[in-house]
A = this chain, B = another copy of it.
Amino acid sequence: MGRNESIPAPAVRRLSLYLRQLEAFRDSNLHTVSSKQLGQALNITDAQVRKDLAYFGQFGQPGIGYGVDELIAKLRHILGTDQTWRVLLAGAGNLGRALLSYRGFQSKGFEVVAVFDNDPSLQGQPIGEDGPVVQSIEQLVSVVQKENIRLALLAVPAAVAQSVTDGMIGAGIKGILNFAPVSLLVPGDVTVANVDLAVHLEQLSFSIGSSGL
């Protein structure tokens, strides 16, 4: 993973939070913010904000702060979302359809350009009103290579998640957003982000406690 090896993963995760908050500031017509304001909005100390950003260069001016538009542009560049990423979707069931219609993706630079499902009744038809045509999983390798796709959304049933993953990696996929409730085995040069919804619910259940029941 080259350039990123020395930067702690939590710092990179916070970049996404900073970016989200800066976009909210921009939408409120704020043009300059201090590390203190940025931190306060996110419950993070201003020292942590400055330290995280310092991994990536020199931003802002002491006593003045950060230019909101400028820092947004720089964070997008660091995160790689100042370009459009072409993404594939494996699995065209309810979850896959929900992901395709999720507005958050396109506005952040992610475009689903190919959809695969091994249900023949779905194949050959577009998903949604003007979505991509569903293709069979057998076509995945050639499409990934032709379209040079590197990122995948995995929304297939748990039972086939690993075999679909193996196929995608063989085709050249390097990053997988995994919605199947299983741990995927992948080589070291492939990154998986797991969206385990039950973990979120456990955290909520803990914070509520059992007092209300």
Chain A residues close to B by CB (< 8 Å):
1-4, 12-13, 15-17, 19-20, 24, 78-81, 83, 85, 87, 93-95, 97-99, 101-105, 107-110, 148, 150-151, 158, 174-177, 181, 183, 191, 193, 195-213
Contact A191 B204 (CB under 8 A): yes
A204's partner among B99, B193, B205, B207 (CB-CB below 8 A) is B193
Contact B175 A13 (CB under 8 A): no
Contact A199 B150 (CB under 8 A): no
Q: Assuming the A-B contacts A101-B94, A208-B174, A212-B150, are A193 and B198 also in contact, with contact meaning beta carbons closer than 8 angstroms in the complex?
A: no
**Chain B residues in 8 Å Cβ range of A203:** 12-13, 16, 79, 193
**Chain B residues in 8 Å Cβ range of A24:** 183
Of all A-B residue pairs in the complex, the 6 with the closest CB atoms, nearest first, are A175-B204, A95-B98, A104-B181, A94-B98, A80-B205, A108-B198
New A-B contacts (14) at CB < 8 Å, excluding given A13-B199, A191-B204: A12-B203, A20-B196, A80-B206, A85-B201, A93-B98, A95-B95, A97-B98, A105-B201, A108-B201, A110-B205, A150-B212, A175-B207, A177-B204, A195-B197
